[in-house]
Amino acid sequence: MNFELLPKIDSPRDLRGLTDSQLLQLADEIREALCNLVTERSAHFASNLGVVELCLALHHVYDFSQDRLIWDTGHQVYPHKLITGRFEQFRSIRTKGGLMGFPNPNESEYDLFMTGHAGASVSTVLGMKAGDDLLGQSGRKSVAVIGDGALPSGVVFEAMNNAAELKKDLLVILNDNKMGICPRVGGLAQYLDKARTAPFYNGLKRDVNWLLNKLPVVGKMSRDAISQLKDAMKGFLHGGMLFEEMGFRYIGPVDGHDLLALRRTLEMVKEVSGPVLLHVFTQKGQGFDPACEDPVLYHAPPPIVRGSRQEVISVKKSSSTAYTNVMSDAIYDAMHANKKVCVLTAAMCEGNKLGRVRKEFPTRFFDTGICEAHTVAFAGGMAKSGLRPIVNIYSTFLQRSFDHIFQEVALQNLPVTFCLDRGGLAGPDGPTHHGVFDNTYMRVFPNMTVMAPGDELDVAPMLDFALSHPGPVSIRYPKANVEHVERPEQPVELGKAEVWQWGADGMFLAFGAFFPVCVQAAERLREQGLDVGVINARFAKPLDEVTIFRALEESGFVIAVEENTVCGGFGAAVLEAANAAGVSTNNLKCLGIPDRFIEHGERDELLADIGLDVEGLIASAQAMAERNGAVIEQPRLKTVG
């Protein structure tokens, strides 16, 4: 498809010069650009296909160079990027140095917040509206677009409660596609299903009251009877009274793919005072049949090969095994072995590869929706009752439950096992999704045991250990393919590290999946004449102080390596322990994520940039060895033929 209109859209202002037929053509071109993208790389796909018309209608009606627009869980902003001057750069999205796959204020004035976690849009846009009013800019309109999957998040209702009290002019658009990443769950999902089937309604409460006052029979009825009649009429007319009762004027539901009708609705809504909720129903994957049929697979699919826009010839899948799959297999085996083991996840069943667990153990599998704080508190209750809950959540999302890890789990010393997926750099998803803080935020809690498998061989034994431990345990693993180091099996024991090989000149102290990388670096350093060994730390809390202190005292240098921020992480734990014991750390270097947010890019690219690849580790070791007076041999050139 040749792009006729998209290259001419330098800003949303250009939309207003298009005819209705051209707007519809532009929607087709945006979908074609999205389809082209996923033939090249993995990207958020189905969710973006579903908001094309909504995006065009919003930018046609509002002027978001002045008005405020925040997209909740911003992976659906690709159409928004295409019409805000970024078409020429679009093919670079999710690549190092290219466009971010989420809103990015550094890219455009139209991106206000870097939104990657669900639920905060209503709070932030309400805050902006309050700020604009206080600064004398009350003419600015404020809009938040939030999905039905994010709606159950507690912070959404906190924000709506506050908005109703403040009575600010605020539009919340509920993009209802019956999905998060996975199908939505819970009572609110059932409630929205009822609202979707109701006829269009604009401001129900006021009109029901007006109608009741016109009925002559009312004067002869008791107050209880009148109240019952009102409730009955509300239920008959419309299933969305929840929002009206919360102080929002409810409008909808509206077809989110009828661009022209949606534009008319937004023009009407724009003039309504006070907080408004516009209920828009869309289809995730709209315009691409395979994505409509399987929106879970096509949420962020591997690169696809297509014959036409409606046909997928093949999906390019990796033949390598990821840590996520290995942990999923271990969880599955644990469920078979122990009937007290149950699994909780927060709308990430597919991301955590728990489909088989959900299918075979439906009574012991709990998807709580995008409600991480509730998930952790719920798990605390299960553990108190005698179960062995596994909370399987991405590292970056578990941060949202920090207080409940403290109050309902660690403080109670309850045996909840946290499996933290995507611990470390999450690659093209970028800074909103990099899980680089969990060693720090888990390590601060008394009673918490903090572990990380060094390679594939550690995963199942660590999970088995955690499920037999009497207190809470955190196990983190990266978004990466597994490796393993050949070695004799050593059982997982509380606070015990594993020594791969001892080195007089230096030691790598690896926490987590850098163990194989450290082994590779040590082997190459040995070829250069340096006697360098590796310790697979396994535990950040409690530390194996005996082994670590021996390394600090006997080896020329020690390099602690982790895929976590150096602030408060594993290396910091080593420094703290050594300081408390009076052990010198003059020969210790801590490598990890520097104290800044890391951009998006392939994980290997990002690790190389910050010196956490094999070459970076070798360079750090050489510098420390030379400081100690070591003579390093130049590596021999290999001859070919």
Q: Which residues are catalytic?
A: 284, 372, 400
Contact 175, 147 (CB under 8 A): yes
- Map tokens 């669900």 to a residue: 118
H/E element, 312: strand 311-315
Contact 563, 592 (CB under 8 A): yes
Contact 453, 423 (CB under 8 A): no
What single-letter DSSP state applies at residue 469? S
Q: How many whole angstroms separate alpha carbon 349 and alpha carbon 358?
A: 8
Q: How many whole angstroms separate alpha carbon 400 and alpha carbon 371?
A: 9
H/E element, 46: helix 46-49
Q: Cα separations (Å) of 311 from 81, 206, 283, 290, 304? A: 26, 49, 18, 7, 10
Residue in 31, 39, 38 with CA at minimum distance from that of residue 6 = 31
Residue in 240, 274, 244 with CA at minimum distance from that of residue 254 = 240
At 359, list the tokens: 């299918």
Looking at residue 149, its amino acid is G
Contact 170, 131 (CB under 8 A): no
* Burial call 140-162: b when 16+ CB within 10 Å, e when fewer: bbbbbbbbbbbbbbebbbebbeb
H/E element, 146: strand 142-147
Contact 552, 459 (CB under 8 A): no
CA-angle at 410, arms to 357 and 151, nearest 5°: 55
Contact 558, 511 (CB under 8 A): no
Q: How many whole angstroms separate alpha carbon 406 and alpha carbon 418?
A: 13
At 341, list the tokens: 């083991």
At 442, list the tokens: 């888990």
Q: What is the largest CA-CA distance in the chain?
A: 105
Contact 326, 332 (CB under 8 A): no
